[in-house]
Amino acid sequence: MKHDPRWEFFKCQRCGRCCIEIGLPYYAESAIEISQFLKISLSEVIERYYGKVVENGKTFRLQDKKGKPCPFLRKEGGKYSCTIYHIRPYGCKMYPLETDFGCQGVDCPAARIANEEFEKKSASADWQEDER
């Protein structure tokens, strides 16, 4: 999953911006996992966090209620954390990779730092290459 070299420099600052501004990503698998994790029925999870199931032939998707900030976000001691971290949706695990490493949408400070550090390292590697 983390093959982009910028991950090496990425350290989440726990500012909460992605979870506040984007909110909970919508995947059917996530609703099932959340239901198992919270020990509540799937229909309750859908009603509370997703709106309704939209059927489309053989597949189904969850209607995006655009609930923001994400209801699973908590703030403690000035830092944000995810209360379902171990089962957080795929989009959360991949963030900020899916936003061109923070270059689109939310201003992610960790992505900004990672991009800068990566640029510095690349420039230094280029310089060492030129010196040979």
**Sole binder of ligand SF4 in the list 45, 46, 88, 115 (CB under 6 A):** 88
60/90 with CB nearer ligand SF4: 90
Least separation, in Å, of the C-beta of 10 and ligand SF4?
Answer: 8
Under rule CB under 6 A, residue 97 binds ligand SF4: no
Burial class (CB in 10 A: 0-12, 13-18, 19+), 131: exposed
8 Å CB contact between 31 and 88: no
Under rule CB under 6 A, residue 28 binds ligand SF4: no
Under rule CB under 6 A, residue 35 binds ligand SF4: no
> Token digits for 31?
């609703």
**What does each C-alpha distance from 2 to 9, 46, 57, 101, 106 come to in angstroms?**
11, 30, 34, 12, 20
Angle at Cα 83 formed by Cα 104 and Cα 9, nearest 5°? Answer: 45
**Window 38-77: contact mask with ligand SF4 (x via CB under 6 A):** --------------------------------x-xx----
**Sole binder of ligand SF4 in the list 27, 82, 117, 121 (CB under 6 A):** 82
